[in-house]
Amino acid sequence: MAEVNELNQLEIRILGALIEKQHTVPDSYPLTLNALLAACNQKSSRDPVIEATEAELLVALDQLREHGWVAEVSGGRVLRYEQALAKVLRIPSQSVALLAVLMLRGPQTAGELRLNCERLHRFADISAVEGFLEELASRPSAALVLQMPKQAGARECRWCHLLAGAPSLVQADVPQLDLVARVANLELELEKLKAMLVDMQENQGARA
């Protein structure tokens, strides 16, 4: 089984794009190299948007093939590529759909995931989405998703995938970081005022 923390951004984009196109354009799946490149560099439904080259794609595909994430399929005059995420991670199709959308669009709430997964898998309600997310987050072998800290002013927490390792959660909430910095500055000013007060008291004592 491949390690879940060995994938880079392009490898993750390749897997997400293959899963997406398997459901949205099944007649064209498995994908040719040109079709896969177009899917990876697609501007819509992608966060972040990338501009990978064919050479970069081939290097990433070699790495994915080596660990069993992707397989080459002979068809006609050109090679085609298919993903094997469910087989490698041993997860159901519902979980594959959730991971694919997280890989393609970045962190999202359970409600956003339900909406964005519509073409890959239709979840009955948000609780169904949350159920599969919790299963992915509590896998005994290795967690595949993580519930991120709630952002200031947000009603719901977002989820992220862990296929590239743990994200930098320290930067997940900029307003909270600003507040911490302000508190630190206030504490520094308070210490300065205390020092000034001590000096004043000492000077008054010396004069007396």
Q: Model confidence at 154, in pLDDT bands (50, 70, 90)?
A: confident
Greater model confidence, 74 or 127: 127
Cα–Cα distances in Å, from 55 out to 74, 98, 196? 20, 29, 64
Q: How far apart are CA 20 and CA 27, in angstroms?
A: 13
Report the chain's mean pLDDT, rounded to a whole number: 88
pLDDT the model gives residue 182: 57
Query: What's domain 9-161's architecture?
Result: Orthogonal Bundle (1.10)
State both tokens at 49.
């948007």
How does pLDDT run across 45-89, given as a tens digit for each residue? 999 999 999 999 999 999 999 999 999 998 678 899 999 999 999
Cis link prior to 140 (omega < 30° from 0)? Answer: no
Segments making up each domain of the chain, as ranges: 9-161, 175-207
pLDDT the model gives residue 200: 84
The region of weakest confidence among 25-29, 95-99, 192-196 is 192-196
Q: How far apart are CA 144 and CA 190, in angstroms?
A: 45
Cα–Cα distances in Å, from 93 out to 11, 69, 132, 144? 20, 15, 10, 14
Q: How far apart are CA 96 and CA 103, in angstroms?
A: 10
